[in-house]
């Protein structure tokens, strides 16, 4: 429940103005939160100049007061940081410390979600990674064989992937270390699950930026997501919360490659109206 400390409230009305669902009213020159339409976005907490609003549902100790030095980022540096990021497929044989993985998840946890659903869950796989790998390769190989054995118009669009998956599985079985093209021997993966694909995708994007800031490298394995959707055994190992589904799988590790510059991209397709 959102609460207003009447003794602190100065009656400025900023929380009323910034409350999207209109759940806050002014009563006797003091803000009153009805907690009827409120979806706990926290805008009222953030905007109040008197720090008069709190909630008993979340940890108020997480709140940080704004300061330019700690919160502002140079826009040119930020854009360059984004431009310089690379999907990493060469990793060092070094484990990633738990506190760094937790920092990555924090970046996801504080990413915006539709209607403040906060529906994104995270599964970090380290100890069971070998089992996950084996099942993923086997599943993709099986899917590939099914596609090639049934040349329907729908399957023809996936013929290239089917051949790739079968070949990847064959080479992986020959030498799992040298030929791990799905996970590239990364020491950990972080799997996001959610009710909303958009919410998990937004969280994953911020998580990748945090990983890069920690000198870690990542790439997103869409092939794993495809395998997990087809194999319930993989989903059982991941432990998907009821009603949610796997959205992204991010490998995490220390890059064993050093890039010297950013790369070009095609021009943005923009319509100005």
| Secondary structure (DSSP) of 32-78 | EE--SS-----HHHHH-TT--EEESSS-GGG-----HHHH---HHHH
**H helix or E strand, kind and range, residue 220:** strand 217-220
pLDDT in the model for residue 155? 82
Which CATH number, 1.10.1740.10, 3.40.50.10320, 3.40.640.10, 3.30.70.20, labels domain 2-62? 3.30.70.20
- Rounded to two decimals, the pTM is 0.94
**Percent of the chain whose predicted confidence (pLDDT) is above 90:** 96
Alpha-carbon distance 197 to 188, whole Å? Answer: 22
Q: What's the distance, CA 195 to chain centroid?
A: 13
Residue 151: is its pLDDT beyond 90?
no
- Local confidence band at 9 (pLDDT 50, 70, 90 cut-offs): very high
The model's pLDDT over 122-133, given as tens digits with 9 standing for 90+, comes to 999 999 999 999
| Mean pLDDT value across residues 217-231 | 97
| Mean pLDDT value across residues 146-173 | 92
Please state which CATH number belongs to domain 73-273. 3.40.109.10
Residue 88's CB is within 10 A of a number of other CB atoms, namely 22
- Local confidence band at 103 (pLDDT 50, 70, 90 cut-offs): very high
Say which residue the tokens 């064993």 belong to. 256
pLDDT in the model for residue 131? 96
| Mean pLDDT value across residues 17-44 | 97
Q: What is the residue extent of each domain of the chain?
A: 2-62, 73-273
**H helix or E strand, kind and range, residue 2:** strand 2-4
Residue 46: is its pLDDT beyond 90?
yes
Three-class DSSP category at 16: helix
Alpha-carbon distance 29 to 156, whole Å? Answer: 68
pLDDT in the model for residue 199? 98
Three-class DSSP category at 241: coil
């Amino acid at each position: 429940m959102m609460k207003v400390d009447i003794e602190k409230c100065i009656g400025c009305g900023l929380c009323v103005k910034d409350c999207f669902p209109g759940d806050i009213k002014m009563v006797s020159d003091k803000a009153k939160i009805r907690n009827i339409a409120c979806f706990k976005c926290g805008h009222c907490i953030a905007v109040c100049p008197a720090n008069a609003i709190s909630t008993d549902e979340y940890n108020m100790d997480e709140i940080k007061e704004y300061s330019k030095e700690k919160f502002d980022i140079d826009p040119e540096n930020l854009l360059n940081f984004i431009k310089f990021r690379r999907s990493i497929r060469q990793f060092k044989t070094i484990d990633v410390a738990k506190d760094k993985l937790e920092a990555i998840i924090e970046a996801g946890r504080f990413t915006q979600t539709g209607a403040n659903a906060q529906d994104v869950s995270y599964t970090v796989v380290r100890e069971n990674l070998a089992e996950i790998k084996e099942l993923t390769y086997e599943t993709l190989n099986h899917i590939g064989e099914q596609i090639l054995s049934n040349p329907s118009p729908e399957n023809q669009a996936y013929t290239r992937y089917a051949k790739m998956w079968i070949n990847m599985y064959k080479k992986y079985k020959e030498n799992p270390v040298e030929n791990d093209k799905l996970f590239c021997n990364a020491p950990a993966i972080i799997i996001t699950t959610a009710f909303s694909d958009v919410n998990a995708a937004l969280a994953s994007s911020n998580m990748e930026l945090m990983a890069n800031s920690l000198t870690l490298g990542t790439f997103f394995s869409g092939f794993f997501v495809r395998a997990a959707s087809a194999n319930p055994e993989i989903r059982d190992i991941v432990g998907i919360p009821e009603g949610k589904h796997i959205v992204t799988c991010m490998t995490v590790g220390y890059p064993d490659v050093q890039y010297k510059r950013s790369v070009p991209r095609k021009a943005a397709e923009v319509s100005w109206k």
